[in-house]
């Protein structure tokens, strides 16, 4: 059901579990940030010029669903792209690889590059995401991208902490980029350079210590951890896999809807308890009188209808 506030519930247990959540875990890219990184700079390390490196990167990204893909594809005209890579592979938490004109390339994080670190310029933007392009022999280029923090992120974190909810970031991005976003959002607990299985392991550790965890994500890499969370929330603009793995979808992508969802969960449980209490009290008082004939049938019918109306009107307060 859609609650009219930008929240689509797809899991039957979602409302009940939301009322118990005491820890919210966020992915970074596309969740706390817009997920639309802007390519700021290309640094080439080989005899291949920056434009050729960008063309190779964009051509590789034709096989990717990651938010970073559009950052490259938008910089190259579709007619200029090379053929879709052969034997293309999406490597969750790392990047993408494929063969172009007989040469195998990789595009992704430093773990995927696999070569000795290359000296980087000193004037890179703080918190930038670095994406490495490599062939089979060496590092060819690094692409410097930046992604803005969603405007509601910091306010949401303040609200969650005020409600006694812990907040953590689990991200596959490099430590510098995650640390920068965490500082901007006011989040002290974060982990970086995590593969999908690492995120799931970290989530299980939180659950094992007794936390009821809500996971918020948007991408293919988040699907396993979304499925493993006590309750999962996907961004409306995320991938189909992420939305299918989640219990709640944020249709407006307004992060403050997460706090509203938690409040709705608490309110729903409270209203259900009130309705149960009313039904028990009413029946305990009315049934004995009806059984001994002290209440005529017509009055008992009115009383039952009134009791049902009270329950419905009380539930309508959740709207």
- The per-residue b/e assignment along 10-41, b for 16 or more CB within 10 angstroms, e otherwise, is eeeebbebbbebbbbbbbbbbbbbbbbbebee
Rounded to an integer, what distance in angstroms lies between the CA atom of residue 218 and that of residue 9?
16
Contact between 279 and 311 under an 8 Å Cβ cutoff? The reply is yes
Q: How distant is the alpha carbon of residue 228 from its chain centre?
A: 13
- Helix, strand or coil for residue 239? coil
Q: Which of 112, 221, 129, 133 is nearest to 174 (CA)?
A: 129
Rounded to an integer, what distance in angstroms lies between the CA atom of residue 229 and that of residue 207?
8
The radius of gyration computed from the CA coordinates of the chain, to the nearest angstrom, equals: 26
- The per-residue b/e assignment along 245-276, b for 16 or more CB within 10 angstroms, e otherwise, is bbbbbbeebbbbbbbbbbebbeebeebbeebe
Q: Is 27 a catalytic residue?
A: yes
Task: Please identify which of the residues 27, 211, 247, 257 carries the catalytic annotation.
Answer: 27
What DSSP assignment string belongs to 157-219?
A: HHHHHHTT-EEEEE-SS-HHHHHHHHHHHT--EEE-S--HHHHHHHHHHHHHTT--EEEEE-S
Vertex 128, ends 126 and 133: CA angle to 5°? 140
Residues tagged active-site = 27
């Amino acid at each position: 059901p859609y609650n009219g506030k930008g929240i689509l519930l797809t899991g039957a247990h979602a409302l009940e579990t939301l009322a118990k959540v005491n820890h919210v875990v966020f992915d970074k890219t596309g969740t706390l940030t817009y997920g639309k990184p802007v390519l700021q700079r290309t640094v080439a390390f080989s005899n291949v010029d920056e434009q050729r490196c960008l063309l190779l990167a964009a051509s590789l990204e034709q096989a990717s669903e990651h938010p970073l893909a559009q950052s490259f594809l938008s910089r190259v005209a579709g007619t200029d792209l090379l053929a879709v890579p052969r034997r293309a592979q999406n490597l969750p938490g790392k990047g993408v690889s494929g063969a172009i004109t007989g040469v195998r390339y990789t595009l992704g994080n430093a773990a995927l590059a696999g070569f000795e670190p290359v000296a980087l310029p000193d004037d890179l933007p703080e918190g930038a995401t670095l994406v490495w392009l490599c062939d089979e022999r060496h590092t060819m280029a690094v692409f410097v991208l930046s992604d803005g923090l969603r405007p509601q992120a910091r306010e949401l974190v303040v609200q969650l902490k005020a409600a006694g909810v812990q907040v953590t970031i689990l991200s596959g991005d490099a430590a510098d980029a995650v640390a920068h976003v965490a500082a901007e959002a006011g989040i002290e607990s974060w982990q970086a350079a995590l593969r999908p299985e690492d995120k799931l392991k970290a989530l299980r550790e939180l659950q094992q210590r007794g936390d009821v965890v809500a996971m918020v994500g948007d991408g293919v890499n988040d699907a396993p951890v979304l499925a493993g969370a006590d309750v999962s929330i996907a961004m409306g603009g995320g991938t189909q896999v992420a939305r299918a793995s989640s219990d709640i979808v944020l249709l407006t992508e307004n992060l403050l809807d997460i706090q509203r969802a938690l409040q709705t969960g608490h309110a729903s449980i409270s209203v259900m308890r009130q309705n149960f209490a009313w039904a028990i009290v009413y029946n305990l008082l009315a049934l004995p009188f009806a059984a001994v004939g002290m209440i005529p049938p017509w009055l008992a019918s009115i009383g039952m209808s009134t009791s049902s109306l009270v329950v419905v009107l009380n539930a309508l307060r959740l709207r």
